[in-house]
Amino acid sequence: MPLLQSLRTWSLAMCGICGILDMRDAPVSPEALAGMTAQLSHRGPDDAGVYLDGAVGFGHRRLSVIDLSGGRQPLRNEDGTVWVTYNGEIYNYRGLRPSLERKGHRFATDCDTEVIVHAYEEDGLDCVSQFNGMFAFALWDRTKRLLVLARDRLGIKPLYYGVFGGVFLFASEIKAILAHPAARCEIDPDGVADYLLCTSLLDSRTMFRGIRSLVPGGILAVHDGELRLHIYWSMARAALRHAGSSLEESRDAVRGLLNSAVAAQVVSDVPLGTLLSGGLDSSVVSALAAGHVGGRLKTFAMGYDHGATLRPDDIDGRYAELVARAYHTEHTEFVFRPEDYRDAMSRVTWHVEKPVDLTSPSLFLLYREVKPNVTVVMSGEGADELFAGYYFFLDRCGSGTPAEFPWAPYLDEVGALLDPDFVARTRCRDRIRATLSADMDSFQSDDPLNKLLYLFLKYYLVEMLERLDKTSMAWGVESRVPFLDHHLVEYVLNLPACYKAKPDINKVVLRSVAADLLPAAVVTRQKRPVPIPVDPKSVWAERNRANALVQAHDSRIAGYFDRKKVDDFFRKKNQFAATDNLAIFRTAHALVALDAWHQAFGVTA
């Protein structure tokens, strides 16, 4: 009989999963599994558990959101032949349950986790297509000796895996995999090249050699030592239908789908709120959520004091207040100091497990303050990628080439600084361009902008979702993203580009939806970035810091770069004399963040 051991521990954060399959059929070490599970303790304050069955072991840390007294994991079916460890929310689980009960399945809890077990018993791997939500889970079929890993369609919840010396390991976070004695903490040079040249990691790669990210919409089946990947959903296949014949019809459809998503996602047995920056996306979500919650909705915003940003730091606050007053929300704005941002960098890097972008420390600080108020928040993540919200979609509205990507400057700026041997070894320039071009060609659309948006959703959005998951879960906050309900995504993918961006306006159809919901000043407002404490002095300080990190005799990152070219770049000498300050700042941050990642995980180029 398998052993189910409960470890009742209480700590500071959120839900995470991990596990081991020894493909040599050796028994799993309870100590090794406990070590992996402990690395996820920040993700689960409410409970912990492990399941051991010979060569298989599951670990789990739980944040209770649904069925607070039940739903402990790992969880099994009636006779213990199917076990699951799961992270996320399946919003339609109550709709799936009656059919399963009519077919004879007996439920012991009121949580969504148990639906996974019984749906698998009924439909096998096809069960995943029934689930509407954000999820990553591992399932063990004892009868078939089959391990199944699955991830939601858009990649809202992360899941990583690797094979080391015949031992298959998986986890919600890479650090849990690295905690196993068989794992090796080594750099993947291709991952570093992806980061430096396009900021997004391609082909399910991570920064660590031998550790992959399960592709969104993917199922990985492990049986008899073989790994087989099944794709149950993809944007390329979803974008093959016609959606709407007029802007008005599309507006009504988008509002209906988004409202349904918000209604499904406000379900919670713990306090819930929304992030409200005053931008269009978060304001629409907050307006719709206010109509579905009992009582006053809690809303949260952030900013920095001392006029620390390159733009007026009170802009977001003014627009957020307009929405808060319109919907009578209980609104709170958290104001941070620039030094809070700098102090958070190393901790954020450890949580995110890769070099962090400029906004990650701000989100990390925001979720820290949100936690005492609510356990679940909704945000507007995904709307920019769906509705062409970024500034570079204006005027040109996309030419359909990778050269228009926001990371394109890195191909030239950072690429010019790389060590020739590193470039030759990773074949990074040719490989990255070929990957982006092939992916764009695979998306069957005659519309250049929609083809470009496809790449944003496939790569750039996944990076943003990983940031969202890890900065929120660091504090035990579950972040929900109604714009990424797959029904809404499938519909918007099929809209013509002119409903998304025109030369003088972006998010065309979403602004039409917002016109009936929000104050006019919010509807017409252009996108603003997440607040970061950056001023002209800090730009030059970051430049000097980055150059010093490369030039140091014991540099952790010098192996990637030509030291003289880096020095010339930051001093604006020789061929870099005309380099602008924006290029200097974003390149400096890329190098500083890369060094911080090396330091956090003890690796050297």
Could you give the residue numbers annotated as active site? 15
Cα separation, 361 vs 345, whole angstroms: 6
Residues in the chain: 605
Cα separation, 600 vs 346, whole angstroms: 7
User: For residue 345, which amino acid is it?
Assistant: M
Q: How many CB atoms lie within 10 A of CB 8?
A: 9
Cα separation, 154 vs 165, whole angstroms: 31
3-6 and 330-336 beta bridge pairing: unpaired
Strands (E), 103-243: 133-141, 146-151, 160-164, 167-171, 212-213, 218-223, 226-231
DSSP characters for 530-571? PP----HHHHHHHHHHHHHHHHSTT-SSGGGB-HHHHHHHHH
Token readout for 224 is 């008899």
Cα separation, 582 vs 568, whole angstroms: 16
End-to-end CA distance of the chain: 47
Cα separation, 573 vs 576, whole angstroms: 5
Cis peptide before 361 (omega within 30 of 0): no
Taking each continuous run of H as one helix and of E as one strand, the counts in the chain are 23, 20
Distances (CA, A) of 446 to 386, 436, 443: 17, 17, 9
Q: How many CB atoms lie within 10 A of CB 403?
A: 10
Cα separation, 212 vs 205, whole angstroms: 5
Lateral strand order in the sheet of 133-141: 75-76, 82-90, 133-141, 146-151, 218-223, 226-231
